[in-house]
Amino acid sequence: MSAVPPVAPSAAPYRAADTLLPVAPALGVVLVVFLLAAAGVAALAHLAPDRGHGHARAVLAAGARAAVQLAAVSWVIGWVVGAVPTLLAFLVLMYAVATRTAGRRVTGNRTWWWAGLPIAAGVVPVVLVLLLGGLVPLRGITLIPVTGILIGGALTASTLAGRNALDALRTRHGEVEAALALGFLERDARMEIARPAASGGLIPALDQTRTVGLVTLPGAFVGMLLGGASPVQAGAVQLFVLVALLLVEVIAVSVMLELIARGRLHRDGAGGGGGRPAAGR
């Protein structure tokens, strides 16, 4: 009887992934059905601020955009990982897109570029520590996904914190004025109102960390298992990701809060509280 040829170790992760979610025509059909169903439910429930179908269109546009972007990124990553300069250029592009997205969501005016500071303040120190400590090598196949996860977390947390803080400053503008009348500095008066609201930007990260393994199995854990790692190794990597995300998001929210309290990020025509601080105060 002839011996069964051994399976190459490098082929095992791909076979494991194919058995979980094979890339086949059926996958495309299911994705289209799911996307149309999501848009249909959003339309039926009138999930839009103006009671129209805005979010239904947004769902369709987001799904189509994700497909195009992932197809492009899948090709680009295979190209940029070959050299450090292209790798760093790609990371800068990721950061620039995150900055523009956060700034547009938070302010929508010329102060949007300040949104890059909270993201950089959280991500850059953590990535440097990982690189200097040898935990993450300067290779695209490792550095891109790790940095991307951290940038995404900082983007989400800082955006939520910024929007919540500016909304609170607009609706509670009278309390800011009252604090100013009592002798508070403008930064301190705005901070008293904005801090509790901005802190809500940490809720998703806290919930994800608290419920990991009980409610969800996050992507890093599943990816490690599909790659052939043991459950203990997968759990260790996922714990690292969650703790690193907590640090990045805490820093990002703190910096975003400070920028808003100092009026660096503000909204136009916000009726005072969410707008630019008055000069001379």
Q: What residues does each domain of the chain span?
A: 24-80, 83-281
Rounded CA separation 174/155 (Å): 30
- Residue in the structure block whose two tokens are 């592009």: 93
Rounded CA separation 39/53 (Å): 9
For residue 130, what are the contacts with CB-CB under 8 A and spacing of at least 6? 136, 146, 244
* Section 220-238 average pLDDT: 74
Kindly state the tokens that stand for 277: 């601080």
Q: Using one digit for the tens of pLDDT, what is the confidence trace for 94-140? A: 999 999 999 999 988 888 999 999 999 999 999 999 889 888 887 77
How many CB atoms are closer than 10 A to CB 194? Answer: 27
Q: How far is CA 184 from CA 178, 277, 280, in A?
A: 9, 13, 13
Torsion of CA 268, 272, 278, 281, to 10 degrees: -150
Q: What angle do CA 112, 115, 121 make, to 5 degrees?
A: 160
Q: Using one digit for the tens of pLDDT, what is the confidence trace for 85-103? A: 888 888 999 999 999 999 9
Confidence (pLDDT) at 277:
61
Confidence (pLDDT) at 10:
43
Confidence (pLDDT) at 2:
44
> Could you tell me what percent of the chain has a pLDDT over 90?
33
Rounded CA separation 66/72 (Å): 10
The answer to which of 21-30, 66-75, 99-108 has the lowest mean pLDDT is 21-30
Give me the helices (H) in the chain, please: 12-20, 25-44, 54-80, 84-106, 116-132, 140-171, 173-181, 186-198, 203-211, 219-226, 231-261
Rounded CA separation 88/81 (Å): 9
What values do phi and psi take at 216, rounded to 5? -135, 160
